[in-house]
Amino acid sequence: MSLSQESDENLMTRFGRGEAAAFEFLYRRHELRVFRYLQRNVKNEASANDLMQEVWFAVARGAANYQPTAKFTTWLFTIAHNRMVDMIRLNHRLQSLDAGEEADTEGSSLLDRLAVEEKLEPLAQVQSQDEAAAILNAVSQLPAEQRSAFLLQAEGELSVEEIAAATGSNFETVKSRLRYARAKLRQLLWEHA
Amino acid sequence: MTPKDNAQDDELLARYRRASDTDAAAPSESVRSAILAESRRVAAELARKAPQHPFDVSRPAANDARWKITAFGTLGAALLAALLIAPRFWESERVSQLSEAPAAAPEAAPAAKTAPADAAALAPATVPRPKMESIAPSSPSEPLQEVVVTQADRKTSKASAEESRQYSAPAPSNSPSVVQNYAQAPSTPPPVATSSAPLAASSPPAAPPAYSARSAEGGVLSMNADRTARARLVPTPSSLQSAAGLGDARRAAVLLDQGVAVDARDQDGRTPLMLAVVQGRLEVVRLLLARGADPNAADNDGRTPLQQARDRNLRDIAALLERAGAH
């Protein structure tokens, strides 16, 4: 079986046996999802890059002790979440996360980053780009814990149980956070429309 | 949560993912390079640390169910074998304890070992011979042979025929006994050993049952073999009849030693002697006659062993019966 067809868990196991190529496949498969999760939580590209490096370094260094007892993505996003929380605590930014005060000053603006769907008509392209920006802006306005839970579901494709395990929260709490997050997003999108 | 809510949630997630896919945000190239470089370094380290053959991959893993089938199968077979074998050992122990009772036999060992002339002198001190007086010599010139079977005859009918040839001619009085022959030629098939010695009609009992004597003197057959034979036996008349019919002289001897009546009859009135005759079991016939079986006993149809031997043209057996007084 080629590496591209291998499951995440098998790739990790093979990397644990010294196959560098397995890690590269794994990294390419999850690179953007992890980065988006980090960037949309910390709202800072440089911090997201730092965290990204830390997270994947931790994954690589933990390969020797990796046991495929759960989904790899659960483990990966647990590391990502914990590193992000550590960084926020270190920088005394726990409260500022909620406030969403730190704007991304170093990176490009959201509208600039959003790719245009070329198959659409110019007007539709603008509308599509505008809608994407609206959704991403709405996500960034969610409270930190709701945003984190929503992004773990949307980017990490984790279940409620897995989110609860990754964040160290109660199942019902996570369920509640997700419900509030979706309600808030709908409201923000309705307001935007 | 209603299905409508679920659909709305799914639709919201789909919209988010579409929007997210259009976002060109990605980690910087330097971060990507650093991560991949670190992964290569770690991989090299892991490859170096990994044992070449951490375990035998040719064997099934502990969590592989295949080994369980083999293991449980082997265990089951071993258990079954143990169940089949254990009763024999158990019986062996029990019967060997029971068979310690006829311990007079070892004391008589020297008597059987000595020459025929000496046997008469030693005989009075030994156990009385069972009913040998009833076997009268058919001819004064032909010495009556005492034939005692000392070992089971589990051989084929061919082997029995060979032996019958051997016993059809009376051994001269000065010839070495068959026991000695067996002792000197261990390559001879050991299962049946007979002791022939001239026996005067008026002479007192000369020797105890040679079966026990030979066992005690450590002859061709060991006591252990005898014990094993005893261990398989249940001393009932039907066992003796079965042994007689099958030609198992050793088994028959053991059963007789254990007290089974030599003339025990079955539902047709047949004695073990008749069954041995019908089956042409020469050795067993000899044994039973030596142990006092009635050569003239008739079954429910009035047939005697001699008639049956003649009907089947078993001349050796018929001659033996005649010498034992059958008419």
Shortest CA distance to A105 belongs to which of A36, A34, A46? A46
Q: Are B325 and B134 in contact (CB under 8 A)?
A: yes
C-alpha distance from B60 to closest chain A C-alpha (Å): 19
Let me know if residue B232 belongs to a domain.
yes
Q: What is the interface size between A and B, counted as CB pairs within 8 Å?
A: 112
Q: Considering only CB atoms, which chain B residues are within 8 Å of A154?
A: 13, 16-17, 20
Lowest-confidence pick of A30-39, B8-17, B223-232: B223-232
How many other C-beta atoms can be found within 10 angstroms of the C-beta atom of residue B88? Answer: 12
Contact assignment for B8 to A186 by CB distance below 8 Å: yes
**pLDDT value at position B144?**
42
Mention every residue, 6+ apart, whose C-beta is less than 8 A from residue A163: A149, A152, A153, A156, A169, A174, A178
Mention every residue, 6+ apart, whose C-beta is less than 8 A from residue B55: none
The domain A3-107+141-192 having CATH identifier 1.10.1740.10: the answer here is yes
Lowest-confidence pick of A37-51, B47-61, B102-116: B102-116
Q: Are A77 and A166 in contact (CB under 8 A)?
A: yes
- Residue B227 to residue A184: CA distance in whole angstroms: 95
Contact assignment for A61 to B42 by CB distance below 8 Å: yes
For B258-327, the three-class secondary structure string (H helix, E strand, C coil) is: CCCCCCCCCCCCCCHHHHHHHCCCHHHHHHHHHCCCCCCCCCCCCCCHHHHHHHCCCHHHHHHHHHCCCC
CA gyration radius, chain B: 40
For the stretch B312-326, pLDDT in tens is: 888 889 988 988 888
Q: What is the DSSP string of B93-117?
A: HHHHHHTTS-THHHHTHHHHHS-HH
Q: Give the structural domain span for B223.
A: 104-323
Give the containing element (helix H, strand E) for A83.
helix A72-90
Q: What percent of chain B has pLDDT over 70?
A: 51
Q: What is the CATH number of the domain that holds B253?
A: 1.25.40.20
Let me know if residue B51 belongs to a domain.
no
- One digit per residue, pLDDT tens: chain A, 193 residues? 677 788 899 999 889 888 899 999 999 999 999 999 999 998 888 999 999 999 999 999 998 888 888 889 999 999 999 999 988 888 765 555 555 444 454 445 655 666 555 565 666 666 677 888 888 989 999 999 999 999 999 999 999 999 999 999 999 999 999 999 999 999 988 887 7
Let me know if residue B84 belongs to a domain.
no
Let me know if residue B153 belongs to a domain.
yes
**pLDDT value at position A61?**
92
Tell the residue number behind the tokens 């295949």, with chain if given: B66
For the stretch B173-194, pLDDT in tens is: 444 443 344 344 444 444 444 4
Q: Considering only CB atoms, which chain B residues are within 8 Å of A19?
A: 43, 47
Give the containing element (helix H, strand E) for B198.
strand B198-199
Contact assignment for A182 to B16 by CB distance below 8 Å: no
Q: Are B127 and B204 in contact (CB under 8 A)?
A: no
Average pLDDT of the segment spanning B2-19 = 81
Shortest CA distance to B309 belongs to which of B267, B271, B281? B281
C-alpha distance from A43 to closest chain B C-alpha (Å): 11
**pLDDT value at position B238?**
83
Let me know if residue B189 belongs to a domain.
yes
The domain tally of chain B equals 1
Tell the residue number behind the tokens 């808030």, with chain if given: A184
The chain B residue lying nearest A115, using CA atoms, is B22
Domain ranges of chain A: 3-107+141-192
Average pLDDT of the segment spanning B224-230 = 52
Let me know if residue B64 belongs to a domain.
no
**pLDDT value at position B221?**
44
Contact assignment for B43 to A27 by CB distance below 8 Å: no
Average pLDDT of the segment spanning B147-155 = 45
The chain B residue lying nearest A36, using CA atoms, is B25
Contact assignment for A56 to B39 by CB distance below 8 Å: yes
B264-291: buried (b, 16+ CB within 10 Å) or exposed (e) per residue?
A: bbbeeebbbbbbbbbbbbbbbbbbbbbb
C-alpha distance from A125 to closest chain B C-alpha (Å): 11
Q: Where are the alpha helices (DSSP H) in B232-297?
A: 237-246, 249-257, 272-278, 282-290
Distance of CA B84 to the CA centre of its chain: 12
Q: Considering only CB atoms, which chain B residues are within 8 Å of A32?
A: 25-26
The chain B residue lying nearest A32, using CA atoms, is B26
Contact assignment for A52 to B27 by CB distance below 8 Å: yes
The percent of chain B in helix, strand and coil, each rounded to the nearest 5, is 55, 0, 40
Contact assignment for A31 to B32 by CB distance below 8 Å: yes
Local confidence band at B268 (pLDDT 50, 70, 90 cut-offs): confident
pLDDT greater at residue B174 or residue B327: B327
Tell the residue number behind the tokens 């896919």, with chain if given: B21
Average pLDDT of the segment spanning B152-173 = 45
**pLDDT value at position B165?**
47
**pLDDT value at position B80?**
92
**pLDDT value at position A28?**
93
- Residue B263 to residue B291: CA distance in whole angstroms: 10
Q: Considering only CB atoms, which chain A residues are within 8 Å of B26?
A: 31-32, 35
**pLDDT value at position A164?**
93
Q: What letter would DSSP give residue B55?
A: S
- Residue B83 to residue B89: CA distance in whole angstroms: 11
Contact assignment for B24 to A186 by CB distance below 8 Å: no
**pLDDT value at position A92?**
62
Tell the residue number behind the tokens 């306005």, with chain if given: A141
Contact assignment for A113 to B43 by CB distance below 8 Å: no
Let me know if residue B55 belongs to a domain.
no
Contact assignment for A36 to B18 by CB distance below 8 Å: no
Give the SS3 label for residue B144: strand
